[in-house]
Amino acid sequence: MTANASTGQEKDIRIASSILKRATQDDSDAIATMFKQFISDNETIYYVQYLGLQGMWGIGTREFACLTDRRVADITVGRFGKVTYQDGYLEHINSCFIFQPSKFSLYLIIGFWVLVSLPTFGLLLLLLPFVVQSYYRIYKCGLVLAVRGGIPIYIFTNRKLLTRANALLRLLTISREDRIKLRGVV
């Protein structure tokens, strides 16, 4: 990983594969290390979390979230060095939106697979877990934060990890209120 921005080095933003591997196992120290290259040294990190994989396994992007005393941030790490960082200062967050897709379309897809695979029932039993997994890799759950004067912050998560996004939102709301009381900004 490159050094913090305050050192003035001009390099690509890189996340070492060992840190990424630990971070995807929800190692909070590794996730904090990833975010520290984007935030100032005097910010306190309150919460970091791995939120799952968006897209197909092996080629998807990994999602990480962070809450500091000043901002909420998201890092998306893709293949071949793709890194996307988004943040918004707590006092500038206007609203939020949590999304969990309906299971109806999943049931339609499973029904289609059952009809197509009836002649080869063994193939159906073999492929069904992959169909469900693929569905949830494509149709993501997550959190969207509207930041005043900026672009929305999209924090995607897997359906089974949506409670992590919800915990982030609860902590964010408390931290936002504390930050507004401290700064006096509405």
Which pLDDT value is given to residue 4?
47
- Separation CA 140–CA 106 (nearest Å): 12
Which pLDDT value is given to residue 73?
92
Which pLDDT value is given to residue 46?
92
98 strand-pairing partners: 143
- pLDDT at position 130 over 50: yes
Does the CA dihedral 15-16-22-28 come out positive or negative?
negative
- Separation CA 175–CA 179 (nearest Å): 6
Closest CA to 80 of 17, 4, 1, 168: 17
Q: What percent of the chain has pLDDT over 70?
A: 88
Compute CA distances 23 → 28, 139, 150, whole Å.
Answer: 7, 23, 28
- Is residue 3 very low, low, confident or very high in pLDDT (cuts 50, 70, 90)? very low
- In the CATH scheme, what architecture does the domain 5-101+140-183 have? Roll (2.30)
- pLDDT at position 183 over 70: yes
Q: Which helix (H) or strand (E) holds 49?
A: strand 45-54
Query: Which residue has better confidence, 66 or 97?
Result: 66
Average pLDDT, the chain: 81
Residues contacting residue 76 through CB under 8 Å, at least 6 positions apart: 54, 61, 62, 63, 64, 82, 83, 84, 156
- Separation CA 137–CA 158 (nearest Å): 7
Which pLDDT value is given to residue 57?
62
- Is residue 45 very low, low, confident or very high in pLDDT (cuts 50, 70, 90)? very high
- Separation CA 157–CA 34 (nearest Å): 18
Average pLDDT over residues 154-160: 82
- Residue written as tokens 């990480």? 64
Which pLDDT value is given to residue 169?
87
- Cβ neighbourhood burial of 33 (10 Å; 0-12, 13-18, 19+): middle
What residue ranges do the domains of the chain occupy? 5-101+140-183
Which pLDDT value is given to residue 7?
52
Q: What is the pLDDT of residues 46-94, one digit of tens each?
A: 999 998 887 666 667 889 999 999 899 999 898 777 888 989 888 888 8
- Separation CA 146–CA 144 (nearest Å): 7
8 Å CB contact between 48 and 65? yes
